[in-house]
Structure 1
Amino acid sequence: MAGRIIAITGGSGVLGSAVAVAAAEQGWRLALIDFAPSPPAAPVGADVFFQGGVDLTDANAAGAAIDAVADRFGGLDALLNIAGGFSWEKVEGATGETWKRLFLMNVQTCSNACRAAIPHLRRSAAGRIVNVGANGALKASLGMGPYAASKAGVHSLTEALAEELKPDGVTVNAVLPSILDTPTNRADMPGADFASWVAPGDLASVMLFLASEDARAVTGALIPVTGRV
């Protein structure tokens, strides 16, 4: 993977940081895009371009950020859409604001970044898009309605875009994690068996395989990464 160029949305978060570290170890050149204004600690020795304060729900902002990556590195080989959000809320009594917010954070950010990246990925010898869906969107549980619906939208976007880009040799896939082992999730569920959850580094490994040249035969796949949940 040495020298290939990867853009990671949500690059300041727990998963985004894990992907960045793993990608740097493989020799990728990294572009991290995030709504957070401050950059994360850069992986040691990595060639990193950070853009903070980017509102990916805005198509123009997403386009400018992706174009800046291509300008900085001279192209783009892979886009990993990690930016997103979560809320637990029952359908009864909801105002609809959570549904709108999660659609924007999970579906619209992904759609905007993909749309902006397509022209650049077409020029790559091995263009790749990897999205983050959710195993919980396959069968929503109590309080998961708005989140699961938004992530189901990511799944459908992934499948549709994979068909659209087949003639160009650009693959589009999604990983469907269960519960990620993050500090926030541990604080929210202190009595859980953390060992059964998915380590961010393990999910990063699957995502980077899908972003690699070796994954040329995989497109339109929704791949569960569920640990022992």
Structure 2
Amino acid sequence: MTSFSSLVAVVTGGGSGIGAAVTAGFRARGARVGVLDLQPGEAADGLLPVVADVGDRGSLEAAMAAVAGTFGGIDILVNSAGISSVGSVEGNDDAEWARVLDINVTGIARASAAALPYLRRSGHGAIVNLSSIAATAGLVQRALYSASKGAVHGLTLAMAADLVGEGIRVNCVAPGTVDTPWVARLLARTADPEGERARLAARQPTGRLVSAEEVAGAIAYLASPESGATTGMSLAVDGGMSGLRLPAR
């Protein structure tokens, strides 16, 4: 994919984890990138860090205007910002439900609404949302997180239907367990970090965690003009977890 050289991308949550890998992947393909994050990192050639909060609509509108003003427009939005949650349906109070859904779901709506005036002026408008295997597979102790990612899946389809007539494509990626600093911090809180990591790896048919770069590659495909016929789709990047049923070992 070499068709990014004239494109401008915005990546929410682009300062770390999957978002940082997406940012690096876009830059390697020639795109200019606006990183929207609470800690967006340092500026570089073709890279504009902007402090922004997906929980604040005004913050996002100002950030999108800053990126478009610097680079001349916006062609791609990647909604990577999000937070996790652990627990059964009894495990989180109302405030935590509101917090996670506000960031993971409404945050995507806010960022997308803020970017749309610029995406409409692009000849290659594309939005890619970060969903999860948890949207469609029942995972233990992930009730709230799964609910948020199921909503992202549904939101992606609805946005795709609304925007296809305007030439803006909307898709999502659904990763399995990704080897990120967040996962490392989660494992560090367990009684047996190495054992828990091995269990997370084993539940994916490939026998390993997904890399952030692999997710970024899938996002680059969906954002590329070369995938111009792809919209309203969820692309699994999960080591075969969602589709394969292997014999017991």
TM-score normalized by structure 1?
A: 0.92
Q: Kindly indicate whether the alpha-carbon contact (under 8 Å) linking 1:5 and 1:75 is maintained by their aligned counterparts in 2.
A: yes
**Mapping of residues 82-97 of structure 1, within 5 Å:** 82-92=80-90, 94-97=92-95
Asked if residue 50 in structure 1 is aligned to residue 49 in structure 2, the reply is yes
Q: How many equivalent pairs are there?
A: 224
The change in CA–CA distance for 1:168 and 1:41 in structure 2 (over 3 A counts) is: same
Q: Which runs of 5+ in 1 are unaligned?
A: none
Q: Does 1:109 align with 2:107?
A: yes
Per the alignment, residue 30 of structure 2 pairs with 27
Task: Give the letter for the 1:40 counterpart.
Answer: G
Q: 1:152 to 1:93 in 2, by over 3 A?
A: closer
Whether contact under 8 Å (1:197, 1:228) holds in the other structure is: no
Write out per-residue CA displacement over residues 131-188 of structure 1, whole angstroms, 9 at most, x where no aligned residue.
0001112123222111111111111111001000111110000000010012332451
2:166 to 168, 189, 196: 168
Q: Rg larger in 1 or in 2?
A: 2
Aligned amino acid, residue 83 of structure 1: A
Q: Structure 1 runs of 4+ off > 4 angstroms?
A: none
Q: Which residue of 2 aligns with 1:15?
A: 18
* Residue 131 (structure 1) aligned with residue 134 (structure 2): no
**2:11/2:33 contact within 8 Å kept:** yes
- 1:190 shift after superposition: 2.4
CA distance in 2, matches of 1:181, 1:119: 35
Query: In the alignment, what sits opposite 1:154?
Result: 152
Extract unaligned runs of 5+ from structure 2.
188-192, 202-206, 242-249
2:217 aligned residue:
205
SS at match of 1:190: helix
Question: Could you tell me the percent identity over the aligned residues?
Answer: 34
Which has the higher mean CA deviation after the structures are superposed, 8-17 or 178-187?
Answer: 178-187
